[in-house]
Amino acid sequence: MAILIGDTAPDFEADTTEGHIHFHDYIDGSWAVLFSHPKNFTPVCTTELGYTAKLKPEFDKRGVKVLGLSVDELKNHGGWSKDIEETQGTALNFPLIADEDRSIAVKYDMIHPNADNTLTVRSLFVIGPDKKVKLKIEYPASTGRNFDEVLRVIDSLQLTARHQVATPVNWKNGEDVIIVPAVTDDVARTKYPEGWTTLKPYLRIVPQPRT
């Protein structure tokens, strides 16, 4: 059955480049990004993993643990990591799961038989500290994902979790946000004593909360 936003992220145990993990214990109250790529030693994947390694300080700042997943063997990951460092300028600095028996890929619907029967598509899940799926994206093998966009969505998700605000089209960190409809004007007056702009009763704009 497909995993949907709001579902609990399936638990699993796995061998990774940083040791054996039990996923739910590993999350341990943090946010997490779990993403699959089709295969080791392939060009698009090499660029994605190098860029994600470069972004590690940004994920750390947001309290997000990143995990890659490949259906290749653990012993292949080391050699590929050297290639990633050589060509992308940054070595792998987060765990890469070796899902040789594809059991995790199957649990997370990362294998799409009509695309390829054996390799994973480019799936990505953002998982909250409550272990619920907050974002799910899927790209074909030939298109590298935009990990700056992943950070942007995490910023939006974390603002929603902390402040009950939503983010408008093409929002970027620092720009105005939307007070969610579930917050009444009475409650909003306490949260935003400096006020907000009402464009419509359901469209109330406020500067991005800073904390």
Beta carbon of residue 50, minimum distance to ligand BEZ (angstroms, whole number):
12
CA distances from 46 to 16, 55, 56 (A): 17, 14, 16
Instruction: Name which position in 27, 92, 98, 141 contacts ligand BEZ (CB under 6 A).
Output: 141
Nearer to ligand BEZ, 37 or 204 (CB): 37
Region for 147 from its dihedrals, namely left if φ exceeds 0, alpha if ψ lies in -120 to 50, beta otherwise:
alpha
Catalytic residue, from 45, 105, 124, 126: name it: 45
Query: Is position 76 an interface residue for ligand BEZ (rule: CB under 6 A)?
Result: no
Instruction: Verify whether residue 45 is a known catalytic residue.
Output: yes
In angstroms, give the least distance from the CB of 97 to ligand BEZ: 17
Determine how β-strand 31-36 pairs with β-strand 64-70: parallel
**Does 142 interact with ligand BEZ (rule: CB under 6 A)?**
yes
Query: Which of 5, 43, 106, 115 is close enough to bind ligand BEZ by CB under 6 A?
Result: 43
Beta carbons within 8 Å of 33's beta carbon, 6+ residues apart: 59, 64, 65, 66, 67, 124, 125, 126, 127, 150, 154
- On whether the CB atoms of residues 134 and 52 are closer than 8 A, the answer is no
Report the interface residues with ligand BEZ, using CB under 6 A: 38-39, 42-45, 141-142
Which residues form the catalytic set?
Answer: 45
